Amino acid sequence: MTLNDASRPSISSMYRLQFEPAQQGWVLLYPEGMVKLNGPAGEILKRCDGQRSLQELIADLEATYGQTGLRNDVCEFLRDAQSRGWVS
């Protein structure tokens, strides 16, 4: 995935994102286990539905948290998540 404003990131089919009360946070489940996500990672991945563009995803995060300038951090996380196979 090349990240640009029109990109529509989605969780890879091998993973399932869900809130896990026992872990007190969001996790990515996969056949061999799970990845416990920190708060920002969970918030970004919740928005990776394949419907929203990267631009919309960032705008939603900025509106939700009343911050601007999140683009670089979000893109850095998504590139890392892609290298791990979490998003496509």
- What are the pLDDT digits (tens) for 52-85? 999 999 999 999 999 999 999 999 999 999 999 9
Residue 53: strand, helix, or coil = coil
Q: Please write the tens of the pLDDT for every residue from 6-42.
A: 999 999 999 999 999 999 999 999 999 999 999 999 9
Domain boundaries, the chain: 16-83
- Token pair belonging to 27: 């996790």
Residue 54 to residue 2: CA distance in whole angstroms: 11
Say what the pTM is. 0.93
Class of domain 16-83: mainly alpha
Residue 14: strand, helix, or coil = coil
